[in-house]
Amino acid sequence: MLSLTVFAFAIMFSQINAQEGMLTSEETIIGESADFFVGFHTGIFDCNQSTKFPYNLGVIVQYNYIPDIAKKWFFGAELGALYIKGAEDDLGRITKLALGDLNIYPLGLSFPIKSEVKQDDNAALRLKKISKARKFKVGLGFAVAFPLMKKSTGPGVNVDAIKTGIGLTIRSSYDLPNRMTLFFNATNIGRDMDGLAYKSSTSLERSNGNKHDISTYYKIGVMWNFLKK
């Protein structure tokens, strides 16, 4: 009788362990997710100085946190640096500077592409397929741009005016089949970031100088995901 009782408890204990193992496995699938990207980009820099747009080259580090892979919402952050160089414009001015920028995305949306989810998939399998699918991400966030180098030259240039500015960034990205991701960002900063400002009231300077106290730069590039969990 005692041996039968011990045997029954052993069976119950093994079933409980098996159930806990299944729950742990499912919780792992349903749980949070994160990405850590490092990449480089090029693009243009627009500071209203004339009709010529300087180019930019830079690097970027990006982190995305997805609280629940079943949801589309995620939180993101980026830190980057970009070198900006332009040809001499119509007024003899040359843009040459380097900026650092920090972007925080409190609201981003992620859309799985070709997740191959089937109607008869159970919840765990469905979420697993979504987690492995390629994704298209978009987000709107806050940006801070700060000067790292100020070497713009030409008549009317005031490099002391190049100071930290804040603004907004729109980001988008698309996952490739491997760990690579293509991205495009557009950032608008509420400050003249190149120093090519004019204070004079002549018609030439009004028509070709800075019309608005804003700076806009665009980034297009590629990133590699070092985390992807």
Q: Give, for all 229 residues of the chain, the pLDDT tens digit.
A: 545 444 444 545 455 455 544 444 444 445 678 889 999 999 999 876 555 788 999 999 999 998 877 788 999 999 999 999 988 877 788 889 999 999 999 989 988 776 666 566 665 666 666 667 778 999 999 999 999 999 988 887 888 888 999 999 999 999 887 889 999 999 999 888 887 755 444 544 444 445 557 889 999 999 999 986 6
- Looking at residue 170, its amino acid is I
Question: Among 4, 3, 24, 47, which residue's Cα sits nearest to residue 188?
Answer: 47
What is the DSSP code (8-state) at residue 52? P
Question: Among 215, 183, 216, which residue's Cα sits nearest to residue 197?
Answer: 215
Cβ atoms 44, 55 nearer than 8 A: yes
Residue with tokens 């204070």: 199
Instruction: Give the pTM.
Output: 0.76
